[in-house]
Amino acid sequence: MLSPTFKPKKTIIFLGLKMKKHIKCNDNYLINHLKENGSLNPMLKTEDYKLNCEDNDYIVGRKLGSGGFNKVYELKDIYNNVIKDKVIRITSKANDRFNNDHFNDEINGLFLQCYIAKICNNVCKVHEFGYLEEFGTDKFGRRKSFYSVYAVLEKLSIPDLDTLRFKMFKKMSKEKRKEYNFRELIRQSLTALKCMNTNDFIHSDIKLSNIGVGLDGYARLFDFGFAKYMPYQSEISNLYGTPFFMDPHFIKNSRIHIKSDIYSFGIILQEIYLKKKKYFRQYFYNKVY
């Protein structure tokens, strides 16, 4: 559930339209909901989850890429200068922000990513996130608001390790390939995962396409849509992920443990060092259920 009330902040200009921002970083209703559904530690106070988000006016620039419901754009300041270390991700718009499961999942995942990036290194930083509100008319000509989920994220030099390993490497010279040490990138990713597990969080969707490379050359873990608070000895059900990377214990018993992320990393190592994907991955890959 999402808060039925919003306090509009500054604006973002997107496709020539001025859109209101509704920042969700420190929304008490959202934090309490995440505590109630088990995504956050219910024993901590709401104040313990307060985030230091930015709140700036921006102009959305050219499209850099897309995937699923999201599109990524370059970001500009109010003087039309490109901000080199940030991008903005925007979902497809909808006219219902409350009863939209995709929107809910996006907001929940962004909060967890923003919070975990505050306590763990090698996690892609979320500078601010929330809703964009655009005013328009419906098919009957009545004034209506349309909404999108947005997130201002740190810019990555490599969008994900899957693209790097199986697409970009084919076009690189041997000298260029030496710039990317997969052993070190995996070590950095494991450092982020260890920090998460130490703080009783499971990522639950570890795969090459959810690990990128920052502008500083270090690994960045992202996409926390399935992340969950999980004390070390506990197990939970009704969690989701990408089947090929999922712990067989979950597939067999519908139960997942905090160690399940380690199994997913084993699949990542197999893909990197065998230099190929399993023949059945073409069917399973990105089939999330």
275 and 218 inside one domain: yes
**How does the average pLDDT of the chain come out, rounded?**
84
Say if residues 261 and 146 touch (Cβ distance below 8 Å). Answer: no
Q: Total structural domains in the chain?
A: 2
The set of long-range contacts for 44-51, using a CB threshold of 8 Å and a minimum separation of 24, is 49/115, 50/26, 51/25, 51/26, 51/111, 51/114, 51/115, 51/118
In the numeric block, which tokens belong to residue 51? Answer: 């985030």
37 and 144 inside one domain: yes
CATH of the domain at 37: 3.30.200.20
What residue numbers bound the domain in which 19 lies? 11-154
Determine, yes or no, domain membership for 2.
no
> What's the CA dihedral at 154, 156, 159, 161 to 10 degrees?
-120
Digits of tens for pLDDT over the chain (289 positions)?
445 444 445 889 998 889 999 999 999 999 999 999 889 999 999 999 999 899 999 999 999 998 878 999 999 999 999 999 999 999 988 776 666 778 888 999 999 999 999 999 999 999 999 999 988 777 777 888 889 999 999 999 999 999 998 889 888 888 888 888 989 999 999 999 999 989 999 998 899 999 999 999 999 999 998 898 987 655 555 556 666 666 666 666 666 667 788 888 888 888 888 766 554 454 444 444 4
- Coil/strand/helix, residue 261: helix
119 and 218 inside one domain: no
The whole-model pTM stands at 0.86
165 and 70 inside one domain: no
* Neighbouring C-alpha atoms within 13 Å toward the C-beta of 95: 9
Cα 257 to Cα 275: distance, rounded to the nearest angstrom:
29
